[in-house]
Amino acid sequence: MVYTCFEMVRDCRADLPQGWRYFASNYVTPIRKILSQYGNGSGTSIEAVLLSLRKPDAKLFQSLDPSPERWFLAQLRQAVLSQLIAPHAEIPLDLETVTAALEPLTVVEKQAAWFETMRYDAAVTGEMMRVSPATVEKIRARASELIRGKVDMWRRTLLADNGLALGREAAAAAPGAGCLPIKAFLDILDGRTTWRNRELTEEHANRCWHCLDHFSRIVEVVWLSRSCRPLSDAEAAPYWKILGAGAEKQPAWKRLFWA
């Protein structure tokens, strides 16, 4: 019998140990990657993250979605990032300035630049977007020069230096008319949409940083889901313990049999 992410969310919400065991086994690796990518020396530990997600008032397990696995990972990403303190940027950069500076770019070009705020280098960005790293570097060089023309002080790492704050500003922006649900982005990435729908989606995202950020996060989530392997029971056991869901006890007949 297959145990699904949908059932995990249901069981964690009911505080059942099998839900927390499945969560630790399958989502500790993505949490590690997210902390490594965005932590930037914040000192936030995976134990602290797990204990925070374990609290009864944690929002992560409060609802389900028709595409639960990737929906859940997208929500998990946001829950982990919410616990990080945005580092102080020596040269601040706000979303309004980025919007004005990058207006000439296409949605693909803006996305390649936006992944720099997410601290992904050109090689990984190219892998996620399915373009060459050289193309990403060329786009980022142009984006950097466009931003340079809009600010009084500048350095090449300005987007990355302000990345966490810019991502929060975009995510927190109130969705406007035509803003898109996660399914619209997944349909594009899975090849389940028409060319016309894709064009409409990209036209909207090109003028809406809230949706462009959302689209970029979903691209990241799809990449994470492909690149993260579940933990073995031995590897997961310490995290089961942190979550208060120790190893499942075998029935007496099984213990006798294996003895």
Quickly state the pLDDT bin for 222 (edges 50, 70, 90). Answer: very high
pLDDT value of residue 62: 82
- Residue closest to 28 by CA, chosen among 200, 245, 259: 245
What is the rounded average pLDDT of the residues 215-227? 93
Q: What percent of the chain has pLDDT over 70?
A: 92
- The ranges assigned to domains in the chain are 5-85+229-248, 95-227
What is the rounded average pLDDT of the residues 32-50? 86
* Residues in the chain, total: 259
Number of other CB atoms surrounding residue 209 within 10 Å: 22
pLDDT value of residue 256: 46
For residue 84, the 8-state DSSP code is S
Is there a contact between 28 and 236 (Cβ–Cβ < 8 Å)?
Answer: yes
pLDDT value of residue 67: 59
pLDDT value of residue 259: 42
The set of residues, in sequence order, having a beta carbon less than 8 Å from that of 50 and lying 6+ positions away, is 24, 28, 31, 239, 242, 243
Say how far apart CA 156 and CA 144 lie, in whole Å: 7
The set of residues, in sequence order, having a beta carbon less than 8 Å from that of 129 and lying 6+ positions away, is 108, 111, 112, 115, 136, 219
Residue reference for tokens 């914040």: 42
- Residue closest to 94 by CA, chosen among 138, 147, 48: 147
**Range name among 2-6, 42-46, 57-61, 211-215 with the lowest pLDDT average:** 42-46
What is the rounded average pLDDT of the residues 222-241? 94
pLDDT value of residue 19: 95
The stretches of the chain forming alpha helices (DSSP H) are: 5-13, 17-38, 46-54, 68-81, 95-101, 107-117, 122-129, 133-148, 158-161, 163-172, 182-189, 195-207, 209-227, 233-242, 252-258
Mean pLDDT in the chain?
A: 89
**Range name among 21-25, 47-51, 120-124, 224-228 with the lowest pLDDT average:** 224-228
Quickly state the pLDDT bin for 109 (edges 50, 70, 90). Answer: very high
Q: What is the residue type of 97? A: T
Quickly state the pLDDT bin for 173 (edges 50, 70, 90). Answer: confident
pLDDT value of residue 88: 86
